[in-house]
Structure formats: C-alpha cells, structure tokens
Amino acid sequence: MGWVWARLKLRTTCDWKGVWGRVKPRTPCWSGENHELMRHYGSLPLGQVYANIWFAVKSFVDEVAAVPGGEHIRNCIQCGVCTGTCPAASEMEYPPRKIIALIRAGMRHEVLSSPSMWHCVSCYLCTVRCPRDIKPTEIAHALECLAIRQGFRVQGTRTPAMYRSFVDSVQRNGRVHEFGMMLKFYLTTNPLAALKITKVGLQLLLHKRMPLLPKKVKGREDLSRIIQRFRAVRSSA
C-alpha cells in the first residue's frame, strides 16, 4: 500500500524536496533503488513523477523491454560478443553486455544515470554479431530515451548536450544547421573546448563547408505542426 499513500501525498503537496523526505521512510516495497530515483524528482513535472513511480513498481527489465528496441532483452545469454566487439567499450563503465546484466538486476538508477550508453557510436556491429538478436545498439538508444524521459542528469558525457543541440536545431530550422548546432553545443558545455577544434572549424569555413546562417526550409512550419500534433496524439493514447 505504500505506493498508494505516496501518490496521495505527492498530489497534495508542491514542495518536491519535502515530498522526497516524506515518501522515503514509508516506501519499503520500493527498495533502495527507488529512493535513489526519487532524488531526481526536484525538477520534474508532476506527470513524470507519476510515471516514475509507476515504473518503480514495474520491474526495470519490463520497462526496457517495453521501449521500442528493447524487446529482446530477456533473451541475452551474456556471451559478451557485443562488448567484445564494441569500439567504444573502453570508454564505457558499463559496456553493452554488462548494462544488460544490470538492467536485469533491476539497477535502474545505476544504469540510467550512467554515461555509458551515450558513448555508443551506432556502428551496429554488436547488433549483427549478437547470437540472440538482442540489438544492443537499439537498447543503448532506448536507455538514452528512458534516461531523458525520466529526467536523469548524466555526468561524464557531453553526448546528451550534443544531441539536444541537434534536436533544437532541427526543431527550429526543419533541418540541422550544423554551425548553429556546434555553436550551441560548445556554449552549453565547455566553450573553451571549442578552441581545440578552431583549426578544423576554420578549414571547414574556408572550404565553404560551414555556412554561418541556416537556410529557410519550406517544410519548417509544417514539420513543427506535425510534431505538436503527434505529441498530443501520443499523450492522449
């Protein structure tokens, strides 16, 4: 009954930090993992808080299996071909095989707050080599989506910021404006790091491969309307 109680409490208060303080001692059935999760609620909208609580009750592996791309996760035999293959494994605290093991062990917080999947370069080598058709590449991206949706703030990788700049650029222009995207990325992460690639940037400019202004794209407005509509359709479903 703990979680029903928590829902009521959450509904009647708007002090999120306070909620966390109150929910914690009364939610034994959620185990330690979920207390970790609650730490992130401070900045989340109410709907997401509910979503998270709902997911906390469901097992983590079910949750990943429900995301497109995560379907086959239960069939993994932990053979390690994916990690053995992965060109980014050395940068990952939890390379593909291990992350699957962690998901199945219910380590939601460890997984979703980890920078590991953000290092996936989408080479699909693991996917073609996996003997069980797990598609670890898709799992990596599914985890990224979950982490974003559940508001995890990930340390140790700048990929989410890069993806965010990309998506913002698309949503603003209809197409990616590469210069604008890079600019935003460096401004939001580490402007000084941009210095390292000034040479690359200059060369691209000189070779006319980096227009400074975005093109006006004909379908831009259409696209944003379509996206808006899709969001509405999806949330009502």
183 binds another protein (CB under 8 A): no
Work out how close the CB of 197 gets to another protein at its nearest, in angstroms, rounded to a whole number: 7
Ranges assigned E (strand) in 88-208: none
Other Cβ atoms less than 10 A from the Cβ of 216: the count is: 8
Pick 80 or 211: Cβ nearer ligand SF4: 80
203 binds another protein (CB under 8 A): yes
What does 100 bind: another protein, ligand SF4, none (CB cut-off 5 to 8 Å by kind)?
Answer: ligand SF4
Work out how close the CB of 78 gets to ligand SF4 at its nearest, in angstroms, rounded to a whole number: 5
Could you give the CA distance from residue 172 to residue 237 in angstroms, rounded to a whole number?
26
Question: Cβ contacts of residue 74 below 8 Å, gap of 6+?
Answer: 61, 65, 104
What does 136 bind: another protein, ligand SF4, none (CB cut-off 5 to 8 Å by kind)?
Answer: ligand SF4
- 87-116 positions binding another protein, by CB under 8 A: 87-91, 95, 97-98
74 binds another protein (CB under 8 A): no
Apex 2 CA angle, 71 and 143, nearest 5: 25
CA 13 to chain centre: 28
For 92-110, give the DSSP string: -SS-HHHHHHHHHTT-HHH
78 binds ligand SF4 (CB under 6 A): yes
What does 76 bind: ligand SF4, another protein, none (CB cut-off 5 to 8 Å by kind)?
Answer: ligand SF4
